[in-house]
Structure 1
C-alpha cells in the first residue's frame, strides 16, 4: 500500500474536523507531516474525484465537498491506491523448464488481487466520520 492513501484519509479527516473553514496546502501538509507539494498531488486526486473543492488566491485553499458519513475508506483507496498492494518487483518468467518459475508471476498477481479485494470489503465498512470519531475518542482517553 502506498502512503497516498494515508495522506488522503488524514487530509479528509482534518477537513471534516473543521468543516466550515478552508485550509491551505501548507496548513494541511503541516498537520499531515508531509511536504506541501506531495500533499497537493494527493489533493488533486481527491478534487478530481469530487471529495474536495478548491479556491485559489487569498483566503483560498481546500474544503470538504462530500458528506463524511458517506465517504468510505474503500472509495479513498480506490481513488488513490488501487493496485498498489502488488509489489513493484515480481518474479519473471525465469527458467521455462521449471513449473514454479514459469507460473509464479501469474499466481502472485492473483493472490495480490484477491487480497486487495478483501481489503476493499473491509475498508467499505469505515467512513471518514468513523475515523474522525476514533481520533476524538483517542484524544478523550489521554
Structure 2
C-alpha cells in the first residue's frame, strides 16, 4: 500500500475533527507533515470521488463532502490507492524455458487481486468517525 492512503485518511480525519470548517492545503500539509502540492494531488482524488469539496480563493480550501458516520476507509482506498498492493515488477523471464517463470506472474497477479479484495472488504467496515473516535480515546 502506498503512503497516499495514509495521508488521505489523516487529511479526512483532520477535516472531520473540524466539522463545517475549510482547511487550506497548507494547513492540512502542516498537520500531516508533508508538502502542500502532495496534499492538493491527493485531495483532488478525494474530490473526484465525492469525499471532499473545494472552494478557491481567499478563505478557500477543503471541507468534507461526505458523512464521517458512513464514509469508509474502503472509499478512501478506492479513491487514492486501489491496485497499489501489486508490485510494479515482474519476476523471471516468461520467454525463457523456466517452468516457474512462465506462470509466476499470472499466479501472483491473482494473489494480489484477492488480497486487495479482502483488504477492501475489511476497510469497508471502518468509518471515518470510528477512526476519529479511536484517536480521541488515545489522548
TM range (shorter): over 0.9
Task: Specify the SS of the correspondent of 2:46.
Answer: helix
TM-score normalised by the chain length of structure 2: 0.96
The number of residue pairs the alignment matches comes to 139
- Residue 43 of structure 1 corresponds to 43
- Residue 13 of structure 1 corresponds to 13
Unaligned residue ranges in structure 1 (runs of 5+): none
TM-score normalised by the chain length of structure 1: 0.94
Conserved? CA contact 1:13–1:131, under 8 Å:
yes
The 5 A counterparts of 1:90-129 are 90-94=90-94, 96-129=96-129
- 1:111 shift after superposition: 0.6
- Residue 58 of structure 1 corresponds to 58
- 1:93 shift after superposition: 3.4
Cα RMSD for the two superposed structures: 1.0
Q: Deviations over 1:86-138 (max 9, x none)?
A: 01112143453222110011111011111111111110110100110111011
Unaligned residue ranges in structure 2 (runs of 5+): none
> How far apart are the structure 2 equivalents of 1:91 and 1:114?
19
The 5 A counterparts of 1:57-96 are 57-94=57-94, 96=96
> How far apart are the structure 1 equivalents of 2:41 and 2:83?
18
Runs of 4+ in 1 over 3 A off after TM superposition: 92-96
Conserved? CA contact 1:93–1:103, under 8 Å:
no
